[in-house]
Structure 1
């Protein structure tokens, strides 16, 4: 049985997308690459496609952080600081669970994010719920930002 991992979304099959890897023996994060070359203008937020979706256990979450060198070297950061990918985001009917990274250019110049550039890292984690957590029966149908609709 598959416990957790990454897959390429159907719209990016055969487009040279690399599955994330840890770079060292004790790295916690899996490096995520941009699936396309994107220009982010100053003071602009753009969604950067990864071409990936993630599967995990129901009590797990994938947390996504910008790579630590990116703000210093490139002048961009994740607009939401930390991305949260819930287990039910995988294969949702709106976007197949495609992980998109909202990147904000805080510099004074356009920034080019190149296809294949490692820009973020994902860490799988267990999460806890409160003792008297009310059951929720709603099924996710949408993609980015859909759980608050």
Structure 2
């Protein structure tokens, strides 16, 4: 098991739960909105088509060789059209700043985010870094250089 060191950001509400796996087989740990004191009571409403950075009140120390991926919650996406535009968002192992989640309202209805709401899920994943080399040619494949939609119905 990988351990992620967590500290509270300045002004964070420490009563908000840390990221947690809601079921024994869950791959993603739910992460919550943690608004600054001036916004806790009102939260934030995302108008249709708009996006905003929602703070979590957390900072992570992720072990070298791992990343944290931030992904949408499927229920919010299906029921309310709430997604993450840069999904999956990546938190690198050498980043120590505040963790925020960019939420986008892809629906035609306003969506309210309350203090403490589960807004996303985070996945801890291993990272492999590659070396890049310029070569004279690439090996041939059946697909070749066929682009978008070249393997079937698009």
Shorter-chain TM-score bucket reads 0.7 to 0.9
Q: Does 1:72 align with 2:71?
A: no
- Structure-2 change in CA distance of 1:43 and 1:128 (3 Å): same
| Divergent runs of 4+, >4 A | none
User: TM-score with structure 2 length normalisation?
Assistant: 0.73
Q: Which structure 2 segments of 5+ residues have no match? A: 36-42, 134-154
The one of 50, 57, 64 equivalent to 1:51 is 57
**Equivalent position of 2:94 in the other structure:** 88
Equivalent pair of 2:30/2:119 in contact (CA under 8 Å):
yes
Q: Which structure 1 segments of 5+ residues have no match? A: 91-96, 134-149
Greater Cα radius of gyration, structure 1 or 2 = 2
1:69 is paired with a residue whose SS is helix
Equivalent pair of 2:48/2:106 in contact (CA under 8 Å):
yes
1:39 is paired with a residue whose SS is strand
- 1:61 and 1:50 map into 2 onto residues whose CA distance is 17
2:31 is paired with a residue whose SS is strand
User: What is the root-mean-square deviation in Å for CA atoms of aligned residues?
Assistant: 1.9
